[in-house]
Amino acid sequence: MSLQFISSQIAELRKAKGIKQEELAKAVGVSTQAVSKWECGGTPDTELLPLIADYFNVSIDTLFNRRVDDYSDLKSELAKEIASVEQEKRMAAALEYCWVIEKALCGATDIEPSLKSLQEANKNGYAHSQMLYDSGISLMSIVEKMQYFVLMPEPLNGWKNGLFAIDKYQKLFKFLGDEHALACILFLMQRDNKPFTPKLLEKNIGITIDRAAEILDVLKQYSLIYEKEIELDDQIQKVYEFYANPALIAVLFISNELIKRPNNFHYNSSSRTKPYLRN
């Protein structure tokens, strides 16, 4: 048992939760100065330990850095931990655990460095991690402006069986490769979901009405555009509504790794011997 560990652990838990010392002090009924003293090497009174542990939704063993070998309720506790965070902070909290998962896939069991500390150190660069095994792959970007975590366990019969026919991909990528089509998609993804007509694309993208109509027809095929009719000035007019597919954001961000292949990896483990698309 390490009393010294409590200081760093309380500070780490508080920062991970995104709260100030004042908030922790108020929650457990002490002064802000007391919390500051804990984080500088002091230790809380014994009767406060359950309150601190409950507040951070961890065990008292965790505060003392004691190893707990019973992981039977780990999933439940993890769900409680993420759910206890404010809604707007849950993604960030979940990504911290994704970073732990990524390191664990490599065989690392340490919790340092934290994702937040790495993001601070890589604000102006690119930092990635990847695990390439016969059982599957993982890709992770830890830069704050481009965060994602992709985990793909490989099915028993391989990934090839999950692909559509090649012509479907050719059609999609050809469409996305069209400068006007991609410009329209990016523009529509930046505006509120208000009804519009092809004239909006004519004005903002600089294409003809006919070209805008062609692009909208294809977007409709991919369920990105929904068409409806409204009565305006005693006339029936056709308008469109754009419904962004979140997969588009994922495709664009992961495509960054194809445009500029990462060469700065914090974790990079590869023991894969199989082809990625095996028969």
Sign, Cα dihedral of 92, 94, 96, 98: negative
Indicate whether 151 belongs to any domain: no
Residue with tokens 């700065």: 264
- Each residue's pLDDT, cut to its tens digit, for the chain (279 residues) gives 456 678 888 888 888 888 999 999 999 999 999 999 988 888 888 888 889 988 887 878 888 777 666 677 788 889 998 999 999 999 999 999 999 999 999 988 877 788 888 888 887 777 899 999 999 999 999 888 889 999 999 999 999 999 999 999 999 999 999 999 999 999 999 998 889 999 999 999 999 999 999 999 999 999 999 999 887 777 888 899 999 999 999 999 999 999 999 888 888 999 999 999 988
Indicate whether 179 belongs to any domain: no
Query: Looking at the 3D structure of the chain, how many domains does it have?
Result: 1
Indicate whether 20 belongs to any domain: yes
Indicate whether 24 belongs to any domain: yes
Structural domain that includes position 59:
1-71
Q: Which CA distances in Å does 211 have to 191, 204, 215, 277?
A: 20, 13, 6, 37
pLDDT at position 2 is: 53
- 146 Rama sector, left if φ>0, alpha if ψ -120 to 50, beta otherwise: beta
Tokens of 245: 């597919």
Indicate whether 89 belongs to any domain: no
Residue with tokens 């500051």: 36
Contact residues for 34 (Cβ-Cβ < 8 A; gap 6+): 25, 42, 44
The three state secondary structure string of 119-168 is: HHHCCCCCCEEEEEECCEEEEEECCCCCCEEEEEECCCCCCHHHCCCHHH
pLDDT at position 273 is: 94
pLDDT at position 126 is: 72
pTM confidence score: 0.72
Indicate whether 258 belongs to any domain: no
CATH number at residue 24: 1.10.260.40
Half-sphere exposure of 13 (CA within 13 A, CB side): 25
> b vs e for 63-88, b when ≥16 Cβ sit within 10 Å of the residue's Cβ?
beeeeeeeeeeeeeeeeebbeebeee
Indicate whether 126 belongs to any domain: no
Indicate whether 167 belongs to any domain: no
Contact residues for 136 (Cβ-Cβ < 8 A; gap 6+): 151, 152, 153, 154
